[in-house]
Amino acid sequence: MRTPASEPLGPTDALVVPRFAGVRTFARLPTLEQAGRADVAVLGAPFDGATTFRPGSRFGPAGIREASLLLRPYNEPMDLSPFAESQVVDAGDAPASPVDIEGAHRAIEESAGALHASGARVLGLGGDHSVALPLVRAAAAAYGRLSLLQLDAHTDTWDSYFGAKVTHGTIFRRAAEEGAIDPHHSVQIGLRGSLYAPADLAENAELGFSTLLAREFDAAGVAGAIELALGQLRSPVYVTVDIDVLDPAFAPGTGTPEAGGLSSRELLAILRGLAGAGLDLVGADVVEVSPPYDPAGVTALAAANAAYELVGLLVLSGRS
Ligand code: MN
Ligand code: MN
């Protein structure tokens, strides 16, 4: 019988059972049921009913899990063995209705809320970006108002779309209105693409977000992005990675691709740059991976690696 004092139950040993064998969990981690407890829990949010262009991200959690098979147990840049230090588990998928945005979000919030209540930090796998709203709500309910780091081509702070207040393009305005996030200590990196009008960015700035546009990233670079993030963020912190922050060359399999984005290497470097800065990361997500548009699996691979860095940050934050 496993007890809370047990050593963490790690991933299936790839030197005993090869990586391509076995039932798919994130990074071949044990399930929550197998481990019996969690310091960090990976939670799938397979819902794409609030997307506005290309669908398919309901298959994102499965795609990311498949791409995560090659993740190894030692994070070299962080000098960290996350699965040995902490109990990291795959908590499965929230039972999100495919035809009911409100109901799906409720299911995701309940699943994430139960994990937070057990003391676990939660890493969500989307799903369209709307799933970040219930994930943020659950984290804020447990830890208080959050400072958001959003890596995204889009602001996702529109007021509505076709009259709907909750879509994957409106969630962070909703989160700000509810007080779940504090836009004045929140940062968006990678914004780009054609807009409807100048007001799109002006209204986003009025809400209080600090931004680093993709074209500004040309000069600021990874170091400038990290400097902005560390200067603005305050604990508790939530990091949301919309995979469309990457250039379509690195992430074609996504709902609303925009040319001129970051490379996978730049994204991973920004995430690693948050390590050791004393920020308390309490939740995170990687969203908008759409496997039907990802024939070579490169988008899911980038997402799996971003998720691995986020697991490392969540484990580091759990040190007390
Ligand atoms: Mn986006
Ligand atoms: Mn987004």
Per-residue model confidence as pLDDT tens digits over 278-288? 999 999 999 99
Q: What are phi and psi of 117, to 5 degrees?
A: -65, -25
Angle, helices 132-143 vs 171-178, to 10°: value is 20
**pLDDT value at 233 more than 60:** yes
pLDDT (mean) for 11-15: 94
The number of the ligand nearest the C-alpha atom of 53 reads: 1
Angle, helices 101-117 vs 132-143, to 10°: value is 30
Cα–ligand 1 centroid distance for 30 (angstroms): 31
**pLDDT value at 247 more than 90:** yes
Which 3 state secondary structure label does DSSP give 173? Answer: helix
Cα–ligand 2 centroid distance for 91 (angstroms): 24
Q: How far apart are CA 70 and CA 143, in angstroms?
A: 33
Instruction: Of 130, 127, 144, 215, give the one whose Cα is nearest residue 178.
Output: 144
In this structure, is residue 95 part of a structural domain? yes
Q: What digits encode the pLDDT tens for the residues 32-86?
A: 999 999 999 999 999 999 999 999 999 999 999 999 999 999 999 999 999 999 9
In this structure, is residue 9 part of a structural domain? no
Q: How far apart are CA 29 and CA 11, in angstroms?
A: 4
Q: Residue 274's domain is classified under what CATH number?
A: 3.40.800.10
Which 3 state secondary structure label does DSSP give 237? Answer: strand
Cα–ligand 2 centroid distance for 245 (angstroms): 8
Cα–ligand 2 centroid distance for 172 (angstroms): 9
In this structure, is residue 44 part of a structural domain? yes
The number of the ligand nearest the C-alpha atom of 126 reads: 2
Cα–ligand 1 centroid distance for 80 (angstroms): 30
The number of the ligand nearest the C-alpha atom of 153 reads: 1
Q: Are 31 and 25 in contact (CB under 8 A)?
A: yes
Which 3 state secondary structure label does DSSP give 295? Answer: coil
3-state SS track over 100-114: CHHHHHHHHHHHHHH
Q: State the chain's maximal CA–CA distance in angstroms.
A: 60
pLDDT at 1: 46
The number of the ligand nearest the C-alpha atom of 244 reads: 1
pLDDT at 140: 98
The number of the ligand nearest the C-alpha atom of 240 reads: 2
pLDDT at 5: 59
Cα–ligand 2 centroid distance for 226 (angstroms): 20
Cα–ligand 1 centroid distance for 76 (angstroms): 29
**Burial zone of 12 (CB within 10 Å; 0-12 exposed, 13-18 middle, 19+ buried):** middle
The pLDDT > 90 percentage for the chain reads 98
Cα–ligand 2 centroid distance for 151 (angstroms): 8
**Both structure tokens of 120:** 């676990």
CA dihedral for 218, 220, 223, 226, sign (positive or negative): negative
Instruction: Of 135, 220, 145, 225, give the one whose Cα is nearest residue 178.
Output: 145
CB half-sphere exposure, 199, CA atoms < 13 A: 4
The pLDDT > 70 percentage for the chain reads 98
Q: What digits encode the pLDDT tens for the residues 79-106?
A: 999 999 999 999 999 999 999 999 999 9
As a whole number, the mean pLDDT across the chain is 97
Sorted by sequence, the CB contacts under 8 Å of residue 176 that are 6+ apart come out as: 157, 182, 183, 207, 208
Q: How far apart are CA 317 and CA 118, in angstroms?
A: 16
In this structure, is residue 14 part of a structural domain? no
Q: How far apart are CA 138 and CA 172, in angstroms?
A: 14
Cα–ligand 1 centroid distance for 87 (angstroms): 31
**pLDDT value at 133 more than 90:** yes
Residue span of the structural domain in which 112 resides: 26-317
**Both structure tokens of 233:** 């963020």
Cα–ligand 1 centroid distance for 145 (angstroms): 23
In this structure, is residue 19 part of a structural domain? no
Angle at 94 between CA 89 and CA 95, to 5 degrees: 145
pLDDT at 76: 98
In this structure, is residue 17 part of a structural domain? no
Length of the chain: 320
Cα–ligand 2 centroid distance for 227 (angstroms): 22
In this structure, is residue 15 part of a structural domain? no
Cα–ligand 1 centroid distance for 161 (angstroms): 15
Q: Are 271 and 163 in contact (CB under 8 A)?
A: no
Question: Considering its fold, how many domains does the chain have in total?
Answer: 1
In this structure, is residue 84 part of a structural domain? yes
Cα–ligand 2 centroid distance for 286 (angstroms): 10
The number of the ligand nearest the C-alpha atom of 171 reads: 2
The number of the ligand nearest the C-alpha atom of 254 reads: 1
The number of the ligand nearest the C-alpha atom of 158 reads: 2
Q: Which residues of 267-298 are buried (b: 16+ CB within 10 A; e: fewer)?
A: bbbbbbbbbeeebbbbbbbbbbbbbebbeeeb
**Both structure tokens of 285:** 């997500």
Cα–ligand 2 centroid distance for 8 (angstroms): 34
Count other Cβ atoms within 10 Å, centred on residue 206.
11
Q: Are 317 and 280 in contact (CB under 8 A)?
A: yes
